[in-house]
Structure 1
Amino acid sequence: MKRRILSSISCLCILCGLVLSISVNAKAEDMISADIIVDGSRLTYEDYSYGTSSNPIVRGEHLMTGDSIISKTGNGRIYTYGETTANHDVDFVAVIVYVDRYDESDGLWGQVDGRVKDARDTYFVLSTKTLQVDRGYFYRVHCEHFAGNDDEEMYDSAISATNGIWIP
């Protein structure tokens, strides 16, 4: 009789343990898979993210593509990349690269680095930089891309942005 009672209690304890562990695991999966998008960038736990200028109609006559990249390169280090490509040689081509950190307290991206790279009489420009950053935040790269000729009123322009990647 005692064995039967002990066996029933043991089975009940194991069953309760399974139920509790399943609900905890489901909640953790929900947190990881939740799509949080801030200013067009999804917060991810990936090691790398790539963004490109999205609307070919808006780019104009001279601008072909604009790309941005962010990747982890070590403890608290990120590699950032921005490039602009024109359809042909133009008088002016440029990329402005912004590196942003997500602030959970206000839910906004804040700029931690920025740089400009431009060139004349060519079709391509790129800017790369490896940065030491604070750990425990999401970071992204977003870029502004320009291409055009000096005799025109305005340069063609576009934007690109990566997703935010977690730097542990």
Structure 2
Amino acid sequence: MKKRILSVLVSVAAFSTMIFVPGIDVTASDSEPIMVDGSYLTHEDSSTGNTLSNARGEYLMTGECSISKAGLTRVYSYASTTANYSIDYIMTIGYVEQYHPDVEKWGQVDYYYDDIENTYYLSLDKSVKVDRGYYYRTRANHIVRHNGVYEETASATNGIFLP
């Protein structure tokens, strides 16, 4: 008789557990970050982008850009261009872009540029006021000229989210 009562109690306990304890929902998550025009949409505080190593030229060594959060409604954008040695002319153009989810494209918010002669390095930066609730990235063009020969490459960061 004790075995039968114990068996009924275990059965009732098992049945109650199945009914009253919520099940674990196992679903595939979209942990893969979304990429738009070469930039991932991230929730990082900053991002840096570099030119590809195969973009090096006879005069152009590398280009770099970065973006970081600079407050609730500001981003800090930076871009630089480095030549292999002192050359005739360097120009860097930086663009701050906002991701528009309705059209799934980046749109320009602001830009900045500078150029200089007879050097091997140029860097510039800008603090830009932006709207919250969007992703932002920096994209840059890196241009050099020496002895009448132009070389150009580009770089871009991943998108960072301003909540």
With normalisation by structure 1, the TM-score equals: 0.83
Report the counterpart of residue 45 of structure 1 in structure 2. 43
Deviations 1:96-123 (A, max 9, x none): 0011111011111000011111111111
Aligned-partner residue type, residue 164 of structure 1 = G
Choose which of 73, 82, 86 in structure 2 pairs with 1:85: 82
Q: 2:17 aligns with which of 3, 11, 15?
A: 11
Q: Secondary structure at the match of 1:119?
A: strand
Query: 2:76 is matched by which residue type in structure 1?
Result: Y
Who is 1:65 aligned against?
Answer: 62
Quick one: percent identity of the two aligned structures? Answer: 39
Which residue matches 2:128?
A: 131
How far 1:12 moved relative to its partner?
A: 2.3
Over the aligned positions, Cα root-mean-square deviation in angstroms equals 2.1
What per-residue deviation string (whole Å, max 9, x for no partner) do you get for residues 60-104 of structure 1?
111111001011122122111000011111110111001111101
Contact 1:43 1:165 in 2 (8 A): yes
Q: Deviations over 1:14-58 (max 9, x none)?
A: 44x132xx33xx45xx23x123111111111111111000043x3
User: CA deviation digits over 1:112-162, x for unaligned, max 9?
Assistant: 01111111111111111111210111111010001122x31x411111000
Structure 2 gaps of 5+ residues are none
CA contact (8 A) 1:59 1:157 kept: no
Question: Is the helix fraction higher in 1 or 2?
Answer: 1
- Of 137, 140, 144 in structure 2, the residue corresponding to residue 147 of structure 1 is 144
Structure 1: which 5+ runs fail to align?
none
Number of aligned pairs? Answer: 156
- Secondary structure at the residue paired with 1:12? helix
Q: Indicate the structure (1 or 2) with the bigger Cα radius of gyration.
A: 2
Within 5 Å, give how 1:91-130 maps onto structure 2. 91-130=88-127
Q: Give, in angstroms, the shift of residue 9 of structure 1.
A: 5.9
- Indicate if the aligned counterparts of 2:77 and 2:127 stay in contact, CA closer than 8 A: yes
